[in-house]
Amino acid sequence: MTTGASGQRAEAGPGAGAEAPGALLEMRGITKEFPGVVALEGVDLKVRDGEIHALMGENGAGKSTLMKVLSGVHPHGSYSGDILVDGAVRAFKGTRDSEAAGIVIIHQELALVPQLSIAENIFLGNEQARSGVIDWNLTLGTARRLLERVGLDEDPGLPVTGLGVGKQQLVEIAKALSKDVRLLILDEPTSALNETDSANLLRLLGELKQQGITSILISHKLNEITQVSDSVTILRDGRTIETLDVVAGEVTEDRIIRGMVGRDLDHRYPEREPRIGATLFEVRDWSVDHPTQPGRRVVDQVGLHVRRGEIVGMAGLMGAGRTEFAMSVFGRSYGRKVSGTALMEGREVRLDSVGDAIGNGIAYVPEDRKELGLILGDDIRRNITLAGLDRVSRGRVIDDGREAVRAEGLRTALKVKAPDVFQATGNLSGGNQQKVALAKWLFTEPDLLILDEPTRGIDVGAKYEIYLIVQQAAAEGKAVLLISSELPELLGLCDRVYAMSEGRITGEVPRDGATQESIMKLMTKTKVSP
């Protein structure tokens, strides 16, 4: 079954309406250990030929580890249990072995080389050569046909660096198709995509299914899973909880959540009684030019305000200017010719540097926690205290004991799952990394907390915990400006929502009168009325 743009499932693919196909893949009793951690414990997974099979679970449940075992990233011998393809036991020593069996994985972090062309990336490691010499006519011609197959209208000779994330995903899928893929594994393929690119990618999965390609889809987006998947397997704490048949009507969002977190979430968003005070932060006529394209304005005369105890949302499509606005406010971290007036409690403040922003009580949690928010190779302690080292120092010397105690207090308060603050941050799950990123800025005791996509790429259970942290910050009298691409999240958390389009604020909607439709209408408004 596939899902069209309308969201209606339709019969498609090999054997539609016929006897159910057999298993293409079986994983039996897979156990994988890392030093001090059992990542997988007796996991079973069965994927039928020609289906889209969703794999769900909280961050740290073992989804990506299981797929790395399947694809040979964790080779045979480093785990126990059996992998069967077409009923025969296989022992993959590496990714080349799994690819030879038609199993190709596309990781959440795309593995493209920006400086190479689309065609070169598609055939990297699988070059189209004759007598040891690359046949460029064959390479470009085959690449063009693969791009047509995934619906990407681009010159295969162009460098990948000029493509957006959505198009890069399609290049990765074209690369997989070049290897005669039978089973395509996609790890959080839509986590960094806007709604349009996400819909196109999901539609492509349906088309590939009709061509006989089986897919395993790892995603935290419940609506995507219920739209396109035929079966759902849920992992929790490294174990298989259950496998559900979507076609048979066994799947609901509540059942998936219960399987993932081990309990019912009566409310997706915690209840809250806001206590809103006076205006804390305001900007007037805030404008920003693109850093490398002279004359291109990306934030255009934005004006907004946030009050103490208030959670204010910012909605907008990709490219609307939300992140650019937030980063420019945070000490001119983005852009050129930043102009406008910023006020804290009615007093004009200068925000010419990150130090100025922090000194005036502003904190910013960026949307890309791995690149901009954290030092993954360092421990939790250092990540938490990094933005406020003066709070744990005596003179110019860091007090290690004091630093550990303060960091441990925040680790405990935010329920970061780690035995202590000396664990490497890069070894934490996505949800726990996000908590560390929040702790880093809460440590500075800000008055204004700007959160840019704070729940991107994390599971529903971790999201709920992040929501509680955000609400607690507001309850303590902080002002919160929340940027999110998920409209239900904005409606569920925020007291007011601003919408942005083409660098401008196109409207403001109070919580009581906000709907997804009303906000989307403002988000797609291309010209602001005088």
How confident is the model over 143-183, as pLDDT tens digits? 999 999 888 889 999 998 878 777 888 898 899 889 889 99
Please identify, among 445, 469, 503, the residue that sits at the C-terminal boundary of a domain. 445
How confident is the model over 355-408, as pLDDT tens digits? 999 999 999 999 888 888 899 999 999 999 999 999 999 888 999 999 999 999
Asked if 96 and 15 sit in the same domain, the reply is yes
DSSP secondary structure code for residue 371 in this structure: I
What is the band of 5 on the pLDDT scale with cuts at 50, 70, 90? Answer: very low
User: In a 3-state reduction of DSSP, which class is residue 401?
Assistant: helix
- Say what the pLDDT of residue 263 is: 59
| Straight-line distance from the first to the last Cα atom of the chain, in angstroms, rounded to the nearest whole number | 48
271 domain residue, yes or no: no
**Domain limits for position 435:** 371-445
Please identify, among 445, 462, 485, the residue that sits at the C-terminal boundary of a domain. 445
107 domain residue, yes or no: no
Strand pairing category for 129-130 and 133-134: antiparallel
Asked if 89 and 127 sit in the same domain, the reply is no
The CATH number of whichever domain residue 516 belongs to comes to 3.40.50.300
- Say what the pLDDT of residue 266 is: 56
Asked if 19 and 92 sit in the same domain, the reply is yes
How confident is the model over 204-236, as pLDDT tens digits? 899 999 999 999 998 877 778 888 899 999 998
Asked if 144 and 93 sit in the same domain, the reply is no
How confident is the model over 73-130, as pLDDT tens digits? 999 999 999 999 999 999 999 999 999 999 998 887 778 898 899 999 999 888 888 8
Asked if 460 and 348 sit in the same domain, the reply is yes
Please identify, among 390, 424, 445, the residue that sits at the C-terminal boundary of a domain. 445
Give the Cα separation of 428 and 430 in Å (integer): 7
Q: How many domains does the chain divide into? A: 4
278-314 per-residue burial string, b: 16 or more CB within 10 A, e: under 16: ebbbbbeebbbbbeeeeeebbbbebebbbbbbbbbbb
366 domain residue, yes or no: no
130 domain residue, yes or no: yes
42 domain residue, yes or no: yes
Number of residues that this document lists for the chain? 530
Asked if 188 and 255 sit in the same domain, the reply is yes
Share of the chain above pLDDT 90, in %: 55
Asked if 352 and 450 sit in the same domain, the reply is yes
- Percent composition of the chain: helix, strand, coil (DSSP 3-state, to 5): 35, 30, 40
User: In a 3-state reduction of DSSP, which class is residue 207?
Assistant: helix
Asked if 284 and 415 sit in the same domain, the reply is no
Asked if 355 and 495 sit in the same domain, the reply is yes
391-427 per-residue burial string, b: 16 or more CB within 10 A, e: under 16: ebeeeeeeeeeebbebbbebbeebebebeebebebee
Asked if 314 and 431 sit in the same domain, the reply is no
- Say what the pLDDT of residue 2 is: 36
Share of the chain above pLDDT 70, in %: 93
Asked if 301 and 429 sit in the same domain, the reply is no
Asked if 433 and 450 sit in the same domain, the reply is no
- Say what the pLDDT of residue 38 is: 86
Give the Cα separation of 174 and 110 in Å (integer): 13
274 domain residue, yes or no: no
Burial of 86 (0-12, 13-18, 19+ CB in 10 A): middle
Beta strands in 175-278 (DSSP E): 183-187, 214-218, 231-236, 239-245
268 domain residue, yes or no: no
394 domain residue, yes or no: yes
